[in-house]
Amino acid sequence: MAGLGRVPLRQWDLNHDRRRAHRPVADKPLKEPDMGKMDNKVVLITGGARGQGRSHALRFAAEGADVIITDICQQLSLVDYPMGTPEELAETKRQVEELGRRCLSFEVDARDGKAMRTTVNEAVAELGHLDAVIVNHGISVPHMTTGPEQDDDVWDLVMDTNINAVWRTVRAVVPHMTENGGSISLTSSAAGLVALFGRAAYVVSKHGVVGLAKTLAAELAPHWIRVNAVCPTGVDTPLYLNPGIIKAFTGKDDGTREDMRWTATSLNLLPVPWIEPEAVSNVMLFLASDEAKYITGIALPVDAGMTTMPPGISPFIGQRLAELES
């Protein structure tokens, strides 16, 4: 169909001289000995005040990158857990700088496309270039199809944050990457590959992130911009381990992480209740590095087997049931 076919050959700029760093060189190793994987690179990370965003910033800085971090640093009215603060954003910046790297931090709402473009333009003007982007921000708020009218507002807020703001962030960064290429990684979720109860907007938005990553990978490939989605299971951050989620898992108003551990473990094939943010950061680093220079358009689960769980009960649950019977 017209407009949906292959990119015309003339758009591919066959010489690619200006993008030589992204082409294979048979007799050159992917990384020089004793160099960081991101030496002399600049990475932008949204949702950088804490959690996965802070973990990503520190991981990239440890590998030699200078870092741009953004966060809304405001409490959205319908979100039922504390969100990142200006103090936490400043702490991420401090920790990156302790690793000897430059760090620019900005309080900005990614839903505001104009504000994001201004922020990105300012940051790139100061640091000189942009090589990798991790669109990490997102929220998760419970709501039901049969719930009160306010659940329509929850839907709108989650979709605006988890899809519209991702799109607007990408739109802000791409003009700075078309000359030399680079990597964009979008944080989706295991819920971007399977369903969850009671969080329709989150599930739909994270499925949308996967679709967006694939579409962007196709559109931006002529510029050697690779785009991928990362799909974690539950991660040890405030988005997942907060009182609302713990109550949903345990049925207790005063439930604890330990109370939730058994039920959370039942979601994963590997016998873990959740994963550490650093596990996701390692994948983000891999996708941004030259080691992944031919990987684009994928949705990579970092999910302890959650999305490949066969029908029936997991081995962990089977073992626990057997112990209860004995």
The set of catalytic residues is 202
Local structure of residue 160 (DSSP, 8 states): I
- Of the CA atoms within 13 Å of residue 264, those in its CB half-sphere come to 24
Query: Among 120, 160, 104, 105, which residue's Cα sits nearest to residue 137?
Result: 160
C-alpha to C-alpha distance for 93 and 102, rounded to whole angstroms: 9
3-state secondary structure of 7: coil
Determine the length of the chain: 326
C-alpha to C-alpha distance for 294 and 123, rounded to whole angstroms: 28
Query: Among 288, 181, 287, 280, which residue's Cα sits nearest to residue 240?
Result: 280
Query: Among 207, 230, 231, 229, which residue's Cα sits nearest to residue 217?
Result: 229
C-alpha to C-alpha distance for 84 and 212, rounded to whole angstroms: 26
The answer to whether the CB of 67 falls within 8 A of the CB of 60 is yes
C-alpha to C-alpha distance for 40 and 129, rounded to whole angstroms: 10
C-alpha to C-alpha distance for 85 and 88, rounded to whole angstroms: 5
C-alpha to C-alpha distance for 131 and 173, rounded to whole angstroms: 10
